[in-house]
Chains A and B, each alone.
Chain A
Amino acid sequence: MSETTSFFNTPSPPQLKGIWAWLLTQDHKRLAVMYLWAVMFWFGIAITIGFLIRIELMSIGPTIMGPDLYNAAFTLHGVIMIFLFVIPGIPAIFGNFILPIQIGADDVFFPKLNLLSWYLYMAGGIMALVSLFTGGGFPDTGWTFYVPFSISTSHNVPLTVLAAFTLGMSSMLTGLNFITTVHRMRIKEMGWMQIPLFTWALYATAWVQLLATPVISITLLLIIFERLFSIGLFDPDKGGDPLLYQHLFWMYSHPAVYVMILPGMGVISEIIPTFSRKAIFGYKAIVYSSMGIAIAGSLVWAHHMYTSGMSDTAIFVFSLLTFLVAIPTAVKVFSWVGTMYKASIEMTPPLLYAMVFIYLFSVGGLTGLVLGAAGTDIHVHDTHFVVAHFHFTMFGGTGFAFFAALHYWWPKMFGIMYDFKRAYIAATLATVGFMFHYVPMFILGMMGMPRRYYDYLPQFSQGNLFAGIGGILLFIGIMLMLINLLLSFRKQEKAVANPWGGVTLEWSIPSPPPLHNFVAPPTVQDYPYDFSNVLQKAAAQHSSVNTEQKESE
């Protein structure tokens, strides 16, 4: 491949210089890199807060913080993780970088809107930061902002809510951009069933973002209105119904769960076939299940509210619908495992993370059924069981998919390769830590330890100690992983255009890509995961090595 100037050295628009070439850029790749640093910053803060929460819980009584600070800590951990890391993480970074390339485009459809989304993201983050140190102090409501507490607490809720509103806007505009891009910028030769699965997953996600985000926007606005004008729409004294708040909140926030996980599933659907050197099993089934999850996931919100006082009929219906979501999810898991069956697997750090994902996410999904069934849910509602469940899905799922994506596309984004050995050690450490961290929480939950308390009864002390030790291992593992990635900048070991033998379009262009992505017009394979060329090349290489060896003999 001939030498090309990477997008790092080509400002877009061309007249920009220095820092402005970044701050006013309309290049989707530069924006992705800017998102990466911003998201990692927040991830660092939130994981540290989470770590401190665990340290606090390692022993009975106030260890390193009192109840007030603890309330603020878990609220911040939740708000930052959800609105600033998990939701924007994969779509904003890897979606922005990879999606246009995978469909053969030179940018997203609305580059300026993309820049605006980044600024909204930053503005939301800054508002969240400011809300900590102004007004009545740290917000302490939990990330759900349930009424009546969110309306009556003296802590600084309005600004935090406004931050979440702004971040929602940012994520919605990104979704709008992706939908339009997939429809209008796809190269003509690429039909709908030739689109790579990561792009498909982002497309399904984008629809959920667009469908659901406005509902949380209005809900959050209503909190602000209530605080400013005391209208009483959720206040029983004034004729309102607090349950309606919960309905409105979860009408967005449950579909948002799929906004968080679908892109992660897309990442895994890319990584598994690439390192199996084999067409993905059930391409169409995965596509339809993505859309199925997007649709069915929008109809299950009230399973968060079984104990809130709904009618039994409603509980029955929502429980049934919740079980239905398990079907498309399982289709994906079986397809991934089916792809690896009898494949010539090449072990790499991204694949290790992907396999850890499958395991952790399956545990998270199956325990989700325990919570989806109304009978068992009432037993474990608001206990540590719930905490363990959603950390298995959100952290073990989306988090590990994010790490997998980071390791998979790192050479493409920066043109450098990281150290494999350290990456394996970090992944193993994080996984072992993860299991020790969250499995005790399942047991604690079954024993009845409630969530969101800074203290507990003596019978829960052993489990919490284990969880704390696991938490420390997990924390160290993730820090090691990040340091390993950062060290690759110092070592500057050049990565080739296609280090993994991938077949989607992003691997056909230089690493890092040039400004307009494609040096030559892209060519589309009939089937997006056709590895016959890669295998042929490998076979040719292998035989040439063999003949060389024979000749030397």
Chain B
Amino acid sequence: MKSSNDFTGIRIGMWLFLYSEIILFGGLFVLYAVYFHRYPDEFVEGGKQLNRIIGAINTIILLISSFTVAASITAIRLQNKKLSLGLLTFSIFCGLVFLINKYFEWGAKFHHDIYPNSDTLVSGPPGQNIFFGLYYVITGLHGLHVIIGMTLLMVSVVLILRNKVHAGRFAVLENCGLYWHLVDLIWIFVFPLFYLVL
């Protein structure tokens, strides 16, 4: 089959898939836009309750991990297998730190009785409930994508170890990398929408 050697085609397929992922989140951003228009004050109020420092740290972590994934692809092209593996492992570690931060963030909110269908939210202003409802749905779905992305990176590590991915054939690694960039990109939008609403 000649198709397995056509890297451009493989890349087209991956970009189309990433595009569908963006539309998936796009549906949620539509909801966000409509509700932000309806409840601007409550959204600002809600944004103030989120921890900007943790949010900013998480943004930086993801940006760094995106860089290391990109660097690992360059490393494999330059036939530096060890460096590539190291960079990938570091990226996975970054993902893990991101999730741990998220865990503490969510945990703190739960502690303050802010979670879907909690008494505070149900009896509070409706805009607040919607803000935190969207917050949990969007960051939750994003967290799921972080986990999927980490799994893909781990698969790449295994494939490099088995020499299935090497300087002459790295489309899989590149696609996993693209997926990780998507996870990063979505967060770049999520972060200002929730933490920096003014």
A-B complex is real: yes
Hey, which bits of chain A sit against chain B, CB under 8 A? 106-107, 109-111, 113, 172, 176-177, 179-180, 183-185, 210-215, 217-219, 221-222, 225, 229-233, 237-241, 244, 247-248, 251
**Contacting pair A241 B34 (CB below 8 A):** yes
Residue of A whose beta carbon sits closest to that of B131: A239
**Contacting pair A183 B116 (CB below 8 A):** no
Q: Could you tell me the distance between the alpha carbons of A211 and B1 in the complex, rounded to whole angstroms?
A: 29
Residue in contact with A231 in the complex, picked from B9, B116, B125, CB distance below 8 Å: B116
**Contacting pair B13 A248 (CB below 8 A):** no
Which A residues are CB-close (under 8 A) to B38?
A: 241
- SS class, residues of chain A in contact with chain B: helix
Q: Could you tell me the distance between the alpha carbons of A179 and B35 in the complex, rounded to whole angstroms?
A: 35
Residues of B within 8 Å of A, CB-based: how many? 39
Which A residues are CB-close (under 8 A) to B12?
A: 179-180, 183-184
**Contacting pair B127 A239 (CB below 8 A):** yes
Residue in contact with A214 in the complex, picked from B13, B23, B116, B129, CB distance below 8 Å: B23
**Contacting pair B1 A210 (CB below 8 A):** no
**Contacting pair B134 A233 (CB below 8 A):** yes
Residue in contact with B34 in the complex, picked from A185, A232, A244, CB distance below 8 Å: A244
Residue of B whose beta carbon sits closest to that of A238: B129
B117 at the interface (CB under 8 A from A): yes
Q: Closest Cβ of chain B: how far from A492's Cβ, in Å?
A: 32
Hey, which bits of chain B sit against chain A, CB under 8 A? 1, 3, 6, 8-9, 12-13, 16-17, 19-21, 23-28, 30-31, 34-35, 38-39, 116-117, 121-122, 125-130, 133-134, 136-137, 141
Residue in contact with A180 in the complex, picked from B13, B24, B26, B121, CB distance below 8 Å: B13
Residue of B whose beta carbon sits closest to that of A228: B116
Quick one: given A240-B130, A241-B34, are A229 and B23 in contact (CB under 8 Å)? no
Q: Closest Cβ of chain B: how far from A31's Cβ, in Å?
A: 15
**Contacting pair A229 B117 (CB below 8 A):** yes
Residue in contact with A229 in the complex, picked from B9, B34, B116, B122, CB distance below 8 Å: B116
Which A residues are CB-close (under 8 A) to B3?
A: 107, 109-111, 184-185
**Contacting pair B16 A248 (CB below 8 A):** no
Quick one: given A229-B117, A239-B39, are A109 and B26 in contact (CB under 8 Å)? no
**Contacting pair A231 B117 (CB below 8 A):** yes
Q: Could you tell me the distance between the alpha carbons of A213 and B12 in the complex, rounded to whole angstroms?
A: 18
**Contacting pair A230 B20 (CB below 8 A):** no
Q: Could you tell me the distance between the alpha carbons of A225 and B134 in the complex, rounded to whole angstroms?
A: 11
